[in-house]
């Protein structure tokens, strides 16, 4: 009989949505639970090759002149390495929780990166071609947890946040955030239309405590439904 793989949860959301805070609190809470084993990872990154590519992609001085197509291919190259690690951890019995996955790639690199409709259509086609060959079946997240926040709120929060070093995405104008938000909506609608992965939308305009509790319960229910935990 084929062994059912453990859950693979992707946490998605715009900068300013409270995603980093949520991931940190999830690590703290889940480390206290002894009923299961968890691994936290991130994108871009998660492997030595992925971390090297992350440094390039998030540094505007290094990646600023790269075309949208080149950047998209870079993300999927890193993701291919990442999925090998994720698959190994899941087969070993760990639930994997990733800070960003392909939903962020679609929102940032396909939708937000360019306002040119023709270029976006080309990147859209390339994204789904790559995804259908790399992120499919057992490789796909079992749950996408999305922190939904209005673009204006995300933009204002990120602009006011001095606690984290800013990369070139953080200095983008409001229009970038608006395109990004539309990208997340399109991506998640497509995921829901095709099935295979669950989607949980969390209202990120709530307080950090409320966001955490809603997200934690959604994740716990998903894990229990797949692993039959107490």
- pLDDT band of residue 121 (cuts 50, 70, 90) is very high
Q: State the average pLDDT over residues 51-55.
A: 87
Task: Determine how β-strand 8-13 pairs with β-strand 198-203.
Answer: unpaired
Span 201-228, average pLDDT: 93
Q: What residues contact 125, with CB distance under 8 A and at least 6 apart?
A: none
Position with higher pLDDT, 149 vs 57: 149
Give the model's confidence band at 219: pLDDT under 50 very low, under 70 low, under 90 confident, else very high: very high
What is the Cα–Cα distance from 44 to 170, expressed in whole angstroms? 16
Reported confidence tier of residue 60, pLDDT bands at 50, 70, 90:
low
* Amino acid 165: pLDDT: 59
Task: For residue range 161-197, list pLDDT tens digits in order.
Answer: 656 656 566 678 899 999 999 999 999 999 999 888 9
Residue with tokens 């070993």: 92
* Cα gap 32→199, rounded to integer Å: 26
Task: Tell me the pLDDT band of 230, cut-offs 50, 70 and 90.
Answer: very low
Output the six-digit token pair for 120: 């976006």
DSSP state string for 130-184 = HHHHHS-GGGS-SEEEEEE--HHHHHHHHHH--SS---GGGG--HHHHHHHHHHH
8 Å CB contact between 202 and 191: no
**Mean pLDDT score, 142-149:** 98
DSSP string, 120-145: HHHHHHHHHHHHHHHS-GGGS-SEEE
Q: What is the DSSP string of 66-82?
A: S-HHHHHHHHHHHHHHH
More confidently predicted of 158 and 60: 158
Q: 10 Å Cβ neighbour count for 2?
A: 5
Residue 198, Cα to own-chain centre: how many angstroms? 14
Is the confidence at residue 23, as pLDDT, over 70? yes
Instruction: With a cut of 60, say whether residue 3 has pLDDT above it.
Output: no
Of the pLDDT bands very low, low, confident and very high (cuts 50, 70, 90), residue 5 is confident
Q: How high is the pLDDT of residue 67? A: 83
Distances (CA, A) of 126 to 20, 68, 120, 228: 29, 11, 10, 38
Average pLDDT over residues 96-111: 96
**Token pair 């992350």: residue:** 54
- What's the predicted TM-score (pTM) here? 0.91
Residue 82 near residue 102 (C-beta atoms within 8 A): no
Mean pLDDT of the chain: 89
CB atoms within 10 A of CB 35: 10
Class at the top of the CATH hierarchy for domain 8-227: alpha beta
Decide if pLDDT at 205 tops 60.
yes
Which residues does residue 97 pair with via DSSP β-bridges, in sequence order? 9, 40
Considering the chain, what percentage of its residues have pLDDT values greater than 70?
A: 90
CA 127 from chain centre, in angstroms, equals 15
Q: Specify the pLDDT at position 107.
A: 96
How far apart CA 1 and CA 116 sit, in angstroms, is 49
């Amino acid at each position: 009989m084929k062994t059912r793989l453990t859950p693979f949860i992707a946490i998605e959301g715009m900068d300013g949505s409270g995603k980093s805070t949520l991931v940190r609190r999830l690590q703290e809470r889940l480390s206290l639970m002894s009923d299961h084993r968890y691994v936290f990872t991130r994108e871009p990154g998660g492997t030595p090759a992925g971390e090297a590519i992350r440094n390039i992609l998030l540094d505007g001085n290094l990646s600023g002149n790269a075309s949208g197509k080149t950047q998209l291919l870079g993300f999927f190259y890193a993701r291919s390495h990442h999925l090998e690690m994720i698959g190994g951890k899941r087969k070993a019995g760990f639930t994997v929780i990733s800070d960003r996955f392909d939903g962020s790639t679609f929102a940032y690199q396909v939708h937000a990166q360019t306002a040119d409709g023709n270029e976006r259509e080309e990147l859209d086609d390339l994204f789904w071609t790559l995804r259908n060959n790399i992120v499919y079946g057992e490789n796909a997240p079992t749950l996408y947890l999305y922190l939904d926040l209005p673009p204006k709120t995300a933009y204002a929060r990120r602009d006011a946040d001095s606690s984290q070093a800013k990369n070139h995405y953080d200095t983008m104008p409001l229009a970038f955030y608006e395109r990004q938000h539309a990208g997340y909506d399109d991506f998640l609608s497509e995921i829901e239309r095709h099935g295979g992965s669950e989607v949980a939308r969390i209202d990120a305009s709530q307080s950090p405590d409320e966001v955490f509790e809603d997200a934690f319960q959604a994740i716990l229910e998903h894990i229990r439904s797949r692993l039959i935990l107490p």
